[in-house]
Structure 1
Amino acid sequence: MRFFMEKLLLIGINTRSMLNSALKLDYEIFSTSYFSTSDTPQIKNQKIILEEKNNESSGIFEDNFNSSYILETSKDFIDEADYIIPISGISPGEFSKKDQKKILGNKDVSQIENKFKFYEKIKDEFTVPETFLIKDVDEAIEISENKPEVKYIIKPVKGSGGYDINLLNNDSTIQLNDSENYILQEYIDGINLSSSILARKDIKKTIMNSRLLTENDFKNNNSYIYIGNILPLTKESILSNIGNIDEINKQMIETSQNLAYKFNLIGSNGVDYILNENGLYVIEVNPRIQGTFECVEKSLQINMLDAHIKSCMNESVEIPKAKYYSYKKIIYSPCRNKYSKIDLDNIYDLPHIGTITEKSEPLLTIIDKDTDFKKLYEKVENSSRIVNQETI
C-alpha cells in the first residue's frame, strides 16, 4: 500500500498518447515533450520545447530537435521523479548512471541502438541483411561495385523513424554528415512488418504483430520514413496477397521472443522486419514503447502504459485477444500550411490553430478502430484525403 503518490516522468518527442494513459494511473505525472500538440493534456508539471505561435513556423524537426536540450530542460523533473519512461527521441544512455536507475524499461541499449553492433550480435542466429560499417560514400560505392547484383541503402548507425535513409545507385549524390557514423546495408525489397513485445524479467511475450507502413508504401518514392501501422496482422491487414499468414505470424512471434531473451529486454518493445519471397529479415529492435502504442490499446482495450510499468516491475499482465483492427497513419504536410480546424473525429496530434507547418513535416495523426477491416481502412483513407485536400 502506498501512502504517497509516486512521481512518474514521461520524456520524449511527443508524450500526448502516453499522457492520456498515465492520467488513468495512480501517479503524480510529469511530462517533457518536444512537440506541443493542441490535444496534449494540460498538467501541472509540464515542459514543452516547441512553442507553437500564431503565424509562426514550427520549423524543420530534424534541424531543431535536440535530445540533450530536452534533458537539460528537464533536469529538475528528472531529479524529482521516482520513475522515468523515455519515449522515442531520448536514449536511456543519455541519462546519468544515477538517473538510469529510475528508468522503467531497458537501461543499456548500446548493443541495440548501434545498428552495426546489433547486426554483429545477431547475424549468426537470425536472418538479417548484410551490413557494413563505412567511412564515406566512396567506400560504400566500392563495396557495391564488388557485388553489382545487390542493391544497398546507406543509413545512420544510430537513428529511428526511417529518417536519413538513402538508396545507393549509380547516380547517387549522397551527402553524409561528418559528425555521424553510417552503415551500408543490403536493400531488402518487401513488406514491412513489426512485433510488439511485453517482457518481464524471465517471461518475454509477443502480444501483437502489425503491418508497418512507410512513405514508400504510399508514394513508391524510396522514402522510408515511418507513416504508421495496421494491426493485428491478418491476410487483410498485411495489404498484400500472402497465403501463409498464420505461419508468418508464428515465425514473428517466436523470433521476437528469441530476440527479447537474447537482449534481456524489459517492458514494452518492438521488432521491425521485412518479408519477401526469401523469408523474414530482422531489421531492428526498438527497445522502448513504440509507435503502435495507441493502436495496441485500441485493439486490445487495455492500458499499455500500465502494462509496460507492471512488466518492468516483474508483475504479470493479462493480455486479451484482439477485439478490433486499428490503423494509425501520420500525415506529413503536402505543402507549407497555416493550420485551421479540420472537423474529423479520428485525428490527433493537432497543431495549434494558426501555426505554420512546413512542407513534408508531420502535420497530424489519424487513428481509428473497427471490427471490420475494410470499413476501418476506408475510414482512415477517407480522413487522409480530407486532411490533404483541406491542407492544400
Structure 2
Amino acid sequence: MLVIGFSTRNIVCSGSRAGYNMYAIDAFCDQDTIGCCIATKELPHELDIRSKDAADIIIDMVRSFEVDFDAIVPGSGFEAMDFSSLPWTVLASDPESIQAVQDKFTLSRKLAELGLPHPHVYENVDDKPDKFPVMIKPRKAGGGIFNRMACNGQELLEAVQDILGTEPSFSRNDLMMQEFIEGVPASVSLIASKDKAVAVAVNEQLIGISWLTRMQFAYCGNITPYEGKYAEEMCNISEKLTSELGLLGSVGIDFIVTEDGPKIIEVNPRFQGSLDTVELATGINLFDAHVKAFMGKLPVRPLRIQRSAGRCIIYADRETRMDAQVLIEMRKHKVADIPQPDYVALADYPVTSVLHTGMNRSNVFESLKQDSENIKRIMKK
C-alpha cells in the first residue's frame, strides 16, 4: 500500500500494525515513518500542490518505486489529486465529492440545503458583517494556521492582508468570512461504505494551546473520547451527512459545541490527525477499517471506549535544529513523529507529537502538558 500525504506517519504505522506492506511519499519522512515502511520518498520542498504540474511530479515519484502496489491511499493535501493515469486502485472518495466538501464555502451551502447546523458564511470577505467577531480563513486549506479572528472593520481588513501576506499563493477569492462561534472544538471519526457510515469515536480537539503553539487557531491534537455534551447527536449528524455527501473510507467531521448544540465547521474526506487517539482509545485499526470499507465491510457501532488517549503536536517557537542530543532527550518521552537528525524546524512549524493514555481526560491532558513542556525546554537549550 502506498500512502501519499504531507504527514503520513500515523497512517503508515497503522497500516504496518495491521500487517500491510507500507510505502510513503511524505514531506517529513520522520524516523518512525521510515521504520513503518518498506520504502519512503520525500516530497520536494519547493512543490506547490496547487500548481498544474504537481500531479505529474507526484506520479513520476510513484512510478520511481517500481512496485506493483495493491492500492494508493491519499493523505492530507492529496485527497483530490488525479491518479487516474496510474493502474492501481485509489482508496478514496471520488474527486468531485472531495472537492465539494473541501471548499468550505460550497460546503456551507450544502449544509444549509440539508438543514444542518453550521456558522453563517458571508458571500465574500468584502461584505459588511451583520455582527462581529468574524473568522477569516482559507476556503480550502486546513490546520487552522491561516485562520484569523476580527472584532471590527479595521481588524477585518488587517486579517485579510495578514493571510495574503503570509501565503502569497492565496487571492481574496481563496478566502472566506464566517460567523465566529464560541464553544468547544470537537470532531467525529467515521468509516463509510457506499451504503452506510458508522461513527467510531467522538474526539475533543486541541486548538491554539499556548504551551504547544503561538498560533491562536492552529490544530494541536486530540483527546479521545470527547467527554462533553451532544456526543450522540454529533454521531447521528455525522453519519447522515457522510452518507448524503457520498464519502467513503475514513472521514472526519469537525464541530464547535456551543451551549445550544453542535455546529458543523468542516468535513475532512481522509484520515485525520485523531487517528492515533481513536486507535488507542478504542482498539480499532483505522487503516484496516478504511481498506475494508471499500469492500463494504464496516465496524459495528458503538465501539467500546477502553481508555482515554491524547495526542498533542509541539510547534517550534523559533527556528530549531534537531541535533543528536536533543533527539536523545526527546526520545525519553512518549513521542511520535520523530524528526530526522539535523532536521530544522522553522518558526511555527510542527516538530514532534506526544502520545499518552490514561483513565480519564484530566489525567491524559496533564501528562501531555508535562511532557510537552519538558520537550520545549530541551529544544531551547
TM-score (norm 1): 0.82
Aligned to 1:129: 119
Q: 1:123 is paired with a residue of what secondary structure?
A: helix
Aligned equivalent of 1:356:
344
Q: Whole-Å Cα distance in 2 between the matches of residues 82 and 20 of structure 1?
A: 17
State the 1:367 CA deviation: 1.1
1:223 aligns with: 216
Mapped to 2, the partners of 1:191 and 1:218 lie a distance apart of 18
Whether 1:269 and 2:256 are equivalent positions in the alignment is: no
Query: 1:211/1:123 Cα in 2 relative to 1: closer, same or farther (>3 Å)?
Result: same
1:116 aligns with 2:99: no
Contact 2:192 2:298 in 1 (8 A): no
Specify the alignment match of 1:3 in structure 2: none
SS at match of 1:378: helix
Deviation at 1:343, TM superposition (A): 4.1
From 217, 229, 233, the counterpart of 2:226: 233
- Asked if the contact 2:24–2:41 (Cα under 8 Å) also holds between the matched residues in 1, the reply is yes
In 1, are the aligned partners of 2:119 and 2:265 still within 8 Å (CA)? yes
Answer yes or no: is the 8 Å Cα contact 1:78–1:99 preserved in 2.
Answer: no
Q: Conserved in 2, the CA contact under 8 Å of 1:21 and 1:305?
A: yes
Amino acid at match of 1:354: D
* CA apart distance, 1:371: 2.4
Residue 217 of structure 1: CA displacement?
A: 6.8
Indicate whether 1:32 and 2:21 are aligned: no
The residue aligned with 1:240 is none
Deviation at 1:348, TM superposition (A): 1.1
1:344 aligns with 2:332: yes
**119-128 or 335-344: bigger deviation:** 335-344
Which residue does the alignment assign to 1:47?
A: 41
C-alpha displacement at 1:71, in angstroms? 4.5
Change (3 A) 1:101 1:219: closer
Q: After superposing the two structures, state which structure 1 stretch, 321-330 or 171-180, moved more.
A: 171-180
Give the number of equivalent residue pairs.
354
Q: Deviations over 1:126-180 (max 9, x none)?
A: 111111242xx5x24xx22xx2x33212211111111311223324423234654
**Could you tell me how far 1:283 is from its partner in structure 2?**
0.6
Mapped partners of 2:370, 2:305: distance in 1: 24
In structure 1, the residue matched to 2:317 is 334
Letter in 1 for 2:366: E
Q: Partners of 1:209 and 1:218 in 2: how far apart? A: 24
Matched residues in 2 for 1:255 and 1:78: separation?
A: 43
Question: What displacement does 1:338 show?
Answer: 2.1
8 Å Cα contact 1:10-1:87 kept in structure 2? yes
Q: What's 1:94 paired with?
A: 81
Aligned to 2:94: 107
2:311 corresponds to 1:325:
no
1:315 is displaced (CA, Å) by 1.6
The question of 1:203 aligning with 2:186 is answered no
SS of aligned partner of 2:33: coil
Q: CA separation of 1:118/1:132 partners in 2, compared to 1, >3 Å: closer, same or farther?
A: same
Query: Displacement of 1:318 after TM fit?
Result: 4.6
> Which ranges of structure 2 fall in alignment gaps of 5 or more residues?
none
The yes-or-no answer on 1:366 pairing with 2:354 is yes
C-alpha RMSD of the superposition: 2.6
Asked whether the equivalents of residues 133 and 182 of structure 1 are also in contact (C-alpha less than 8 Å), the reply is no
- Once the two structures are superposed, residues 165-218 of structure 1 have per-residue CA deviations (whole angstroms, 9 ceiling, x without a partner) of 122332442323465422111111221111001112212111110111111576
The answer as to 2:289 corresponding to 1:307 is yes
Which string of whole-angstrom CA distances, capped at 9 and with x for unpartnered residues, describes residues 258-279 of structure 1? 1111102211110001122332
Q: Decide whether aligned partners of structure 1 residues 381 and 164 sit closer, same or farther in structure 2, where only a CA change above 3 A counts.
A: same
Q: Counterpart of 1:278?
A: 260
Q: Structure 1's 343 and 288: CA in aligned 2 closer, same or farther, altered over 3 A?
A: closer
TM-score, normalising length: structure 2:
0.85
Ranges in structure 1 where 5+ consecutive residues have no aligned partner: 1-7, 51-60, 236-244
- What is the CA–CA distance in structure 2 between the aligned matches of 1:198 and 1:86, rounded to whole Å? 15
Residue type matched to 1:385 in 2?
A: E
